[in-house]
């Protein structure tokens, strides 16, 4: 099946620093990628939709200036958590949708990035 990678898998940072998370589709092109956040024992909550070559669409309540998304190519989207605080500690997961019409319904998830802000 299609493979999506995320880097880093784990990050610990001090409060006030910025953290960049990369999401890559390894064997397919993805015009659309999605960023989710999951707190312990909760569901995945959509943060934003990332479209290649255009601005991301953020869900209500998600600060676009705090969570910067860049989808610079068909295989890479980045999420930057700026001025991270302890309440931003979470499991961040990206997903990508294959651009091929026959496969576009399926979303493939990356392995996730655990962020701990001290």
Instruction: Give which of 16, 20, 14, 90 is closest to 6, Cα–Cα.
Output: 20
Mark the segment that binds other proteins (CB under 8 A) among 17-25, 40-48, 71-79, 82-90: 40-48
Smallest gap from residue 71 Cβ to other proteins (A) = 14
Q: What is the dihedral of CA 66, 72, 74, 75, to 10 degrees?
A: -70
- Site residues for other proteins, 9-38, by CB under 8 A, read 32, 34
What Cα–Cα distance (Å) separates residue 46 from each residue in 15, 22, 33, 118? 24, 17, 11, 24
- Site residues for other proteins, 77-116, by CB under 8 A, read 93, 95, 97, 104-112
Q: Quickly count: other Cβ atoms within 10 Å of residue 31's Cβ.
A: 16
The answer to whether 75 contacts other proteins (rule: CB under 8 A) is no
Residue closer to other proteins (CB basis): 32 or 78: 32
Smallest gap from residue 46 Cβ to other proteins (A) = 5
């Amino acid at each position: 099946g299609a493979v999506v990678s995320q880097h880093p898998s784990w990050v610990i940072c001090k409060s006030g620093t910025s953290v960049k998370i990369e999401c890559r589709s390894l064997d397919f092109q993805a015009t659309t990628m999605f960023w989710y956040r999951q707190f312990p024992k909760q569901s995945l909550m959509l943060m934003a939709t990332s479209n290649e070559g255009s601005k991301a669409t953020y869900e209500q309540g998600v600060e676009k200036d705090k969570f910067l998304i860049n989808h610079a190519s068909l295989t890479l989207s980045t999420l930057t958590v700026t001025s991270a605080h302890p309440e931003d500690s979470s499991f961040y997961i990206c997903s990508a949708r294959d651009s091929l019409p026959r496969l576009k319904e399926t979303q493939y998830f990356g392995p996730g990035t655990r962020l701990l802000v001290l």
